[in-house]
Homo-oligomer: A and B are copies of this chain.
Amino acid sequence: MMIMTPPRLVTIRQGILSKNDALAAQLRARFTSAGVVAINLVSSPGAGKTALLERTLRELIAAGRHPAALVGDLTTDNDAERLRRSGAPVRQIQTAGNCHLEADMIGQHLAAWGLRLDEIDYLFIENVGNLVCPASYDLGEAVRVVLLSVTEGEDKPLKYPPMFNSSDLAIITKCDLAAAVEFDRAAAYASIDAVHPGVRVLETSAKTGTGMADWLAYLTELRSARLTALNP
Contact = CB atoms under 8 A, between A and B. Distances in A.
Report whether over half of chain A's contact residues are helix, strand or loop; otherwise say mixed: loop
A97 B102 CA distance: 19
Given A3-B1, A12-B9, A158-B75, A99 B133 contact: yes
Contact of A2 (B97, B155, B177): B97
Interface in A86-141: 97-99, 102, 104-105, 128-133
A131 B131 CA distance: 10
Copies in the complex: 2
A197 B131 CA distance: 28
A6 B13 CA distance: 11
B129 A44 contact: yes
A208 interface: no
A130 B43 CA distance: 11
Interface string A1-42: 111111011001000100000000000000000000000000
A71 to B, nearest CB: 11
| A4, A8, A158: residue with the most chain B Cβ atoms closer than 10 Å | A4
Contact of A177 (B98, B133, B151): B151
Interface string A150-166: 01110110111110000
Interface of A: 1-6, 8-9, 12, 16, 44-47, 73-76, 78, 97-99, 102, 104-105, 128-133, 149, 151-153, 155-156, 158-162, 174, 177, 180-181
